[in-house]
Each structure stands twice: as structure tokens, then as C-alpha cells.
């Protein structure tokens, strides 16, 4: 595959690229808000923490390790990111924004928990950054795709677009999912299963 073909393979529609940028800024701001809320009022983010722990327990991720852990993380994350896109088919309510917000506040709140418990931000970053550098962009891209799709569906209903435009946007989002999200999550799952525990173990 030559350079031109490679560039075309990973090309993003301009409007979707803009949506990804806006979503990334919002995600970063919400993480800071989650951290501040977790420091000021821990009880405010505690329900989200319990939700995260229970979801991981229900998926059996605490009982496995190695390859099985990687497979479990990967399947859960792939389904979650695909769902973030799919809920964009529901018009008007912009549900992917809720998905983005919940995850951002959870990430920020977890950082506050590490600080409050005396574990420190270095330990938190050690347990988050190795796989997070791939997983978090995948989350932002997926939610941005969902918002992009929601806008297309809403415009179609309001008469500002048509079914063909929605089909085109859906096709673009699925292509981004395959070209970007899937490989990012594969690398992230491998790092979270095999590398992150080793690094985090140096801090705990």
C-alpha cells in the first residue's frame, strides 16, 4: 500500500474530524471536573465508582489474567465503543454525550480517589496511562462518531437531510470503527492485561 492509498484508508470526513476535536476538548474538561468533584465531594462520584466496579465484576475481569483477561477487556471495550456509535441512531437526545460524560467523570473521580487514599497521582497514572493512551482516544472517536450520526439522523427527521445522508454517515462511522477503534482497543487490551499490572505494581 503506497502513501496515497494509506492516507485515503485512514482519511476522516472533515465534519467528523471537527466533531472529534470538539469531543476531545469536552472530554478533557469533564475529566478535570470529575477530579474536582471527587476531591470536593467524594460521595458525588461514588455511585459511578460502584457502577464501574460492578460492571467489571459482572464481566468476570477480576477472576482472570493474561490472555483471558485481554480477551475479556477487548470484547467488553469493542462492544462499549460500538454501542457509543449505535446509540447515535436515536435522534435529538445525543446519548453519546452522556456516555462520554460518565466515563470522563469516572476517570477524574478515580484519580481523586487515589489522591484521597494517599496512593498519589503517580500510581493512578501508572495504572491508567499505558493502556489509556490508546483506549481513551478510541472512546473519544467512538462518542464523536455517535454524535455525528445523531446529528445526521436528527437533520433527516427535521427535513435538513435524507436517508441516503444517514446511510453515508453510518458507513463512515463504521469504517472509522474498523480502521481506528478496533486496532486501538486491541493494543490497549494487550497493554492493560500484560503491561499495566507490572507498572502499577511498582507503585502499590
State phi, psi for 161 to the nearest 5 degrees: -160, -170
| Residue the block writes with cell 467523570 | 105
Look at residue 113 in the predicted model and tell me its pLDDT.
86
Which sequence spans correspond to the domains of the chain? 13-201
Residue 174: partners with Cβ closer than 8 Å, 6 or more residues away: 85
Look at residue 165 in the predicted model and tell me its pLDDT.
87
- Is the pLDDT score of 61 beyond 60? no
- Comparing C-alpha atoms, which of 110, 96, 1, 8 is closest to residue 51? 110
Grid cell listed for 73: 477487556
- Model pTM score: 0.90
Digit-coded pLDDT (tens) for 64-117: 677 888 998 999 999 999 999 999 999 999 999 999 999 999 899 989 888 888
Digit-coded pLDDT (tens) for 106-156: 899 989 888 888 888 888 898 899 999 999 999 999 999 999 999 999 999
Cα 136 to Cα 30: distance, rounded to the nearest angstrom: 13
More confident position, 11 or 181: 181
Amino acid at each position: 500500500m503506497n502513501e496515497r492509498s494509506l492516507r485515503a484508508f485512514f482519511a476522516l470526513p472533515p465534519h467528523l474530524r471537527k466533531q472529534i476535536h470538539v469531543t476531545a476538548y469536552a472530554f478533557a474538561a469533564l475529566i478535570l471536573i470529575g477530579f474536582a468533584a471527587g476531591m470536593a465531594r467524594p460521595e458525588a462520584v461514588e455511585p459511578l465508582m460502584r457502577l464501574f466496579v460492578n460492571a467489571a465484576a459482572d464481566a468476570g475481569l477480576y477472576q482472570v489474567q493474561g490472555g483471558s483477561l485481554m480477551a475479556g477487556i477487548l470484547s467488553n471495550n469493542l462492544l462499549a465503543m460500538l454501542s457509543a456509535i449505535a446509540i447515535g441512531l436515536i435522534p435529538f437526545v445525543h446519548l453519546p454525550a452522556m456516555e462520554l460524560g460518565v466515563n470522563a467523570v469516572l476517570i477524574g473521580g478515580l484519580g481523586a480517589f487515589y489522591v484521597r487514599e494517599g496512593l498519589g497521582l503517580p500510581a493512578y497514572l501508572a495504572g491508567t496511562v499505558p493502556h489509556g493512551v490508546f483506549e481513551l482516544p478510541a472512546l473519544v472517536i467512538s462518542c464523536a462518531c455517535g454524535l455525528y450520526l445523531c446529528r445526521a439522523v436528527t437533520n433527516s427527521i427535521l427535513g435538513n437531510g435524507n436517508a441516503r445522508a444517514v446511510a453515508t454517515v453510518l458507513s463512515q462511522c463504521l469504517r472509522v470503527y474498523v480502521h481506528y477503534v478496533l486496532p486501538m482497543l486491541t493494543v490497549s487490551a494487550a497493554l492493560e492485561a500484560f503491561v499495566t499490572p507490572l507498572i502499577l505494581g511498582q507503585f502499590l
